[in-house]
């Protein structure tokens, strides 16, 4: 008997049942060569499932069309999620080659789904008749979201427009993959070796330890020290190094990622992405890409975004002008050159902070060991939502640094699996993010989620975090909880699959508990002595919270404004990335001695995918929600108030995308959000809209 294609692939671990424990991917058995044949078979199987849905003789109803669509393609989904997690967390030359090959093929498969006339015909018929279908609220939301997914992916296009749309999306998939790989290559290639005591001047012990560990990872001999572009190493170096010339080297290397010429230059890639995005928007009938994207956001239109950003941008620049005076005075006191430069700001701000608040980041670090802060965030999740985290060592994962916990309720029932991968390495992209290996779906007896948090902390013994690192840890865990606590029937609505300017609410809200005194008093203990953080040090930290927030606001809001201006360009407008960035920076008056958190040539939020394109503003949009939302706890006098936490769980963390996010927020807060708490939190005064 002739073997089928699947029989021939029976030894491919990606196509076998992923069994115990927990249905985890078979990390130890998978090699890059397994992915292409597995994708080919899984895509074919998925398409066969969709054909079956589309061609059935029964009239369309919710279960045989919408629910069945949600259940389809699970094999392809699990392979895709594993592939995505490996290419971001533990990549290789071989995986990058597969990624480059597969990007347009996966995009073509997705395009074929949304362009399937028979499938969309059934969905559209249900949508047009939705008022008479007696659907419950979650089913109605599911139908509306699925219908919108198809429409936004071009299901209503016909003829040559349909063919062209598929070509556009395929090329975009290749280009965004190339953009991401280029940034990773340039980050991995940079290593500033510190050769003697002069190079190490000003660096506290924790920075030296991290630089030594980075050198060891690169195979350099004992006694070597290396500064990489990982934020958890580069930013402390920019904060503490007395070597102004070396600070400039690191700052310029970070800024110029993707803009150094050669094979990894991203400027042409980004420009081509913009051409294609404008064409994509035009095919949908929108005047700009921003207009197309914002249809499915809380903000709804670009003017609402600009209004929000300028309410922070204007007072932040004004406050930065005042802060600069103190930094210039400090520079003169230290005999440093003036006017100051962007590679001076962190360094001088730290000196002013130490003088003004008698507070040094190096004094705080010993109280923020990674293990203690992981315990702190687990404790907060327990006190808020009744969760228990039980580590399971010895389970093979994608990298030895990754750790796994079972997440259990008070009755010991399993909520999901949480994986933490916290250290930087050259095989891992920079930044911090949450992802899943499996999404939640179904209620009792449904699919349990497998959630992963990735950070890029400098690996050292002990691993000591800055307070910004602690906030990042809590932020990503907020996303993780959003995925773990999801309790919805349909995978399309699960966890973080909400509108982009709502998805950052659970993560940014959870950051607040990192600053709660009772949390710090319990968990912020000196890693060597075990002593709790002294009360006076905690008070200094609280008093200094608003210090230099103007700098942080300018650094974030500048790129957010550039993003919105770039994607608001009318369709057909050619883009020179360098010229556009220079023109807009001058127009906005971005201070040269502050600069931007992201420059376009390495702005992965915008160009490594479409999720945050015309959407980098979402962090501030969500900050308005979270600052106002956390006041619900403050008003009770208890940051762990049980009734408020229960309402937060019900309306935000567990509800996924089962309702309009504005309605979800009102259900939690009892009203619409106010912007004043966000401005107060940043130490800014309200400004008129520009």
**How far, in Å, are 202, 350, 382, 459 from residue 369 at the CA level?**
21, 21, 20, 12
Which CA distances in Å does 405 have to 40, 235, 371, 390? 33, 30, 14, 5
Give the Cβ contact number of residue 582 at 10 Å. 11
CB 29 within 8 A of CB 13: yes
Contact 451, 494 (CB under 8 A): no
SS3 content of the chain, % helix, strand, coil (to 5): 60, 5, 35
Spot the catalytic one: 279, 476, 623, 626. 476
Burial class (CB in 10 A: 0-12, 13-18, 19+), 468: middle
Token look-up 């919710």 returns 62
Residue carrying structure tokens 């003789």: 57
User: From its phi and psi, is residue 74 left (phi > 0), alpha (psi between -120 and 50) or beta?
Assistant: alpha
Distance CA 110, CA 328 (A): 54
Strand partners, 417: 406, 450
Strands 450-457 and 414-423: parallel
CA distances from 209 to 212, 242, 250, 254 (A): 5, 17, 18, 21
DSSP strand pairing (433-438 vs 450-457): antiparallel
* 476 tagged catalytic: yes
Q: Are strands 433-438 and 403-408 parallel, antiparallel or unpaired?
A: unpaired
Element (H, E) at 237: helix 231-240
Contact 378, 389 (CB under 8 A): yes
What distances in angstroms separate CA 128 from CA 65, 131, 153, 309, 492, one per listed residue?
A: 14, 8, 18, 38, 20
Q: Are 215 and 224 in contact (CB under 8 A)?
A: yes
| Sequence-ordered list of residues with C-beta below 8 angstroms from that of 351, at least 6 positions apart, any chain | 330, 334
Q: Is residue 244 within 8 Å of residue 344, measured between CB atoms?
A: yes
- How far is Cα 35 from Cα 439, in angstroms, rounded to an integer? 20
Query: Which tokens go with 490?
Result: 């349909």
Closest CA to 364 of 214, 240, 513, 211: 240
Q: Which two tokens stand for residue 568?
A: 């608001």
At which residue do the structure tokens 């279960």 appear?
63
User: How crowded is residue 230: how many other Cβ atoms within 10 Å of its Cβ?
Assistant: 23
Question: Angle, nearest 10°, between helix axes 35-55 and 117-128?
Answer: 50
Structure tokens at 328: 């210039």
Catalytic residues: 476
């Amino acid at each position: 008997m002739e073997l089928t294609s699947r029989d021939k692939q029976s030894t491919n671990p990606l196509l076998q049942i992923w069994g115990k424990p927990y249905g985890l991917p078979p990390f130890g058995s998978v090699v890059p060569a397994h992915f292409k044949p597995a994708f080919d078979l899984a895509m074919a199987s998925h398409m066969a499932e969709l054909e079956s849905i589309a061609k059935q003789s029964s009239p369309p109803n919710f279960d045989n069309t919408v629910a069945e669509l949600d259940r389809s393609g699970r094999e392809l989904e699990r392979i895709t999620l594993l592939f995505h997690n490996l290419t971001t967390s533990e990549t290789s030359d071989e995986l990058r080659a597969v990624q480059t090959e597969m990007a347009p093929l996966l995009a073509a498969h997705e395009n074929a789904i949304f362009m399937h006339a028979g499938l969309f015909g059934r969905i559209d018929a249900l949508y047009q008749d939705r008022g008479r279908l007696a659907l419950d609220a979650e089913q109605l939301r599911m139908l509306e979201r699925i219908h919108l997914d198809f429409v936004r992916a071009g299901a209503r296009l016909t003829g040559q427009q349909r063919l062209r749309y598929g070509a556009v999306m395929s090329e975009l998939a290749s280009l965004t993959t190339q953009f991401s790989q280029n940034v990773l290559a340039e980050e991995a290639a940079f290593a500033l070796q510190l050769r003697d005591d002069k190079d190490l001047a000003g660096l506290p012990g924790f920075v030296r330890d991290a630089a030594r560990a980075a050198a060891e990872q690169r195979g350099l001999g004992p006694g070597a020290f290396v500064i990489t572009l990982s934020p958890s190493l580069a930013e402390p170096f920019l904060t503490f190094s007395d070597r102004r010339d070396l600070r400039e080297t690191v700052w310029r290397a970070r800024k110029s990622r993707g803009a150094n010429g050669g094979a990894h230059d991203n400027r042409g890639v980004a420009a081509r992405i913009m051409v294609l995005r404008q064409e994509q928007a035009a095919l949908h009938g929108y005047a700009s890409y921003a207009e197309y994207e914002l249809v499915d956001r809380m903000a709804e239109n670009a003017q609402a975004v600009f209004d929000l950003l300028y309410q922070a941008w204007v007072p932040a620049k004004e406050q930065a002008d005042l802060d600069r005076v103190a930094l210039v005075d400090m520079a003169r006191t230290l005999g440093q050159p003036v006017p100051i430069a962007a590679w001076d700001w962190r360094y001088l701000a730290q000196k002013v902070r130490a003088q003004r608040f008698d507070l040094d980041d190096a004094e705080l670090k010993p109280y923020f060991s990674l293990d203690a802060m992981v315990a702190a965030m687990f404790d907060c999740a327990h006190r808020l939502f009744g969760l228990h985290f039980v580590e399971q060592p010895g389970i093979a994962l994608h990298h030895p640094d990754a750790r796994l916990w079972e997440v259990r309720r008070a009755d010991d029932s399993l909520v999901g699996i949480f994986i933490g991968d916290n250290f930087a390495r050259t095989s891992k992209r920079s930044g911090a993010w949450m992802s899943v290996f499996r999404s939640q779906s179904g209620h009792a007896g449904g699919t349990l989620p497998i959630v992963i948090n990735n950070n890029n902390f400098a690996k050292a013994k002990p691993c000591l975090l800055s307070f910004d690192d602690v906030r990042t840890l809590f932020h990503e865990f907020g996303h993780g909880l959003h995925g773990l606590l999801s309790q919805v029937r349909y995978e399309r609505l699960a966890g973080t699959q909400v509108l982009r300017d709502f998805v950052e609410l659970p993560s940014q809200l959870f950051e607040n508990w990192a600053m709660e005194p009772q949390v710090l008093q319990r968990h912020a203990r000196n890693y060597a002595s075990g002593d709790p953080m002294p009360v006076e040090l905690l008070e200094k930290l609280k008093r200094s919270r608003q210090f230099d927030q103007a700098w942080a606001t300018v650094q974030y809001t500048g790129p957010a404004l550039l993003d919105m201006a770039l994607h608001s360009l009318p369709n057909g407008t050619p883009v020179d990335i360098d010229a556009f960035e220079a023109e807009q920076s001058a127009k906005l008056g971005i201070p040269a001695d502050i600069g931007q958190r992201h420059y376009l040539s390495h702005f992965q939020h915008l160009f490594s995918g479409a999720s945050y394109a015309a959407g980098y503003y979402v962090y501030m949009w969500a900050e308005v929600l979270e600052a106002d939302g956390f006041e619900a706890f403050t008003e009770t006098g208890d940051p762990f108030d049980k009734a408020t936490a229960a309402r937060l769980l019900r309306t935000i963390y567990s509800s996924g995308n089962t309702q309009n996010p504005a309605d979800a927020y009102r259900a939690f807060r009892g009203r619409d959000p106010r912007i004043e708490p966000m401005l107060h939190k940043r130490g800014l005064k309200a400004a008129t809209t520009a």
